[in-house]
């Protein structure tokens, strides 16, 4: 139970850290007020959902003695981002926390985080953006105890789209980080 509490605190801390990070990167990424409003809304929901997800994960950990690889494979492994942003969305927290738990329990398990961007903007800038996104996911995992040595980051920028097309929907599906075991 005590361990469970500690983990809950760790998760809560990582949510705060992620929110903190997002503030930093929002400050640097946003130039106009419209973006700012939107980001503040994102952040608001991030905090509230973050609490939800941590309690949910907390519950899982109480009953659970360890995740199997099959359990991990059933989790979401693709996480999406907003345009020109590298902020982890609140909806990702629950599954990311479960990935983190599995990696903490299996310290020899390595993982590759593949960062991607949509086709808009220049290729090398998007390469950097893909890396930023993978790093945001990496930070979420390491705050929960995953070792840096378990994680490798590779950005493909806009070179490997998940979906071909010029629609908002296609772009949304391409701005992503994929966790690969």
Partner 1 sequence: MIRLLQTWLFCSLLLVSILTRAELTFEVTQGADNPVPVAVVPFGWEGIQGLPVDVAEIVSDDLYRSGLFSLMERENMLSFPSQGGDVYFRDWRLGGLEYLLIGKVLPDPASNGYRVEYELFNVIEEQRIAGGFFGGAKKDLRRLAHRVSDVVYEKLTGIKGAFATEIVYVTASKVSKDRYNYRLQKADADGANAQTILESREPILSPSWSRDGKNLAYVSFETGRPSIFIQNVATGQRQRITAFRGLNGAPAWSPDGKRLAITLSKDGNPEIYIIDIATRNLRRLTRHYGIDTEPSWSSDGGSIIFTSNRGGKPQIYSIDLSNNWIERLTFEGDYNARGGLTYDGRHLVMVHRSNGVFHIAVQDLKTGRLDVLTETYLDESPSIAPNGSMVIYATQDGTRGVLGAVSIDGRVRFRLPAKFGDVREPAWSPYLQ
Residues that bind partner 1 (CB under 8 A): 24, 28-32, 84, 119-125, 127-129, 131-132, 153-157, 159-160, 164-166
User: Residue 98 Cβ, how far from partner 1 at the closest point, in Å?
Assistant: 26
Q: Which is nearer to partner 1, 101 or 116 (CB)?
A: 116
Length of the chain: 181
Residue 119 and residue 135: Cα distance in Å, rounded?
20
Q: Kindly state the tokens that stand for 62.
A: 């109480």
Residue 91 and residue 64: Cα distance in Å, rounded?
22
User: Residue 55 Cβ, how far from partner 1 at the closest point, in Å?
Assistant: 33
Residue 159 and residue 163: Cα distance in Å, rounded?
11
Bridge partners of residue 153, in order along the sequence: 113
User: Residue 161 Cβ, how far from partner 1 at the closest point, in Å?
Assistant: 10
Q: Which is nearer to partner 1, 48 or 122 (CB)?
A: 122
Q: Which is nearer to partner 1, 2 or 166 (CB)?
A: 166
User: Residue 95 Cβ, how far from partner 1 at the closest point, in Å?
Assistant: 23
- H helices of the chain, in order, are 2-29, 33-63, 69-73, 93-105, 123-143, 168-174
Q: Kindly state the tokens that stand for 178.
A: 């994929």
Q: Which is nearer to partner 1, 16 or 125 (CB)?
A: 125
């Amino acid at each position: 139970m005590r361990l469970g509490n500690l983990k809950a605190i760790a998760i809560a801390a990582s949510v705060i850290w992620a929110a903190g990070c997002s503030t930093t990167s929002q400050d640097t990424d946003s130039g106009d007020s419209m973006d700012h409003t939107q980001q503040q809304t994102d952040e608001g929901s991030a905090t509230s959902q973050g609490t939800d997800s941590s309690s949910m994960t907390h519950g899982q950990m109480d009953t659970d003695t360890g995740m199997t690889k099959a359990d991990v494979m059933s989790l979401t492994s693709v996480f999406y981002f907003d345009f020109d942003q590298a902020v982890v969305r609140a909806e990702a927290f629950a599954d990311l926390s479960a990935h983190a738990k599995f990696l903490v329990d299996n310290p020899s398990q390595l993982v590759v985080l593949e960062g991607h961007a949509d086709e808009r903007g220049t290729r090398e800038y998007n390469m950097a953006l893909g890396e930023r996104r993978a790093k945001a996911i990496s930070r979420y995992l390491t705050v929960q105890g995953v070792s840096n040595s378990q994680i490798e980051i590779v950005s493909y920028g806009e070179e490997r789209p998940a979906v071909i097309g010029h629609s908002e929907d296609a772009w949304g599906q391409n701005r992503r980080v994929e966790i690969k075991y």
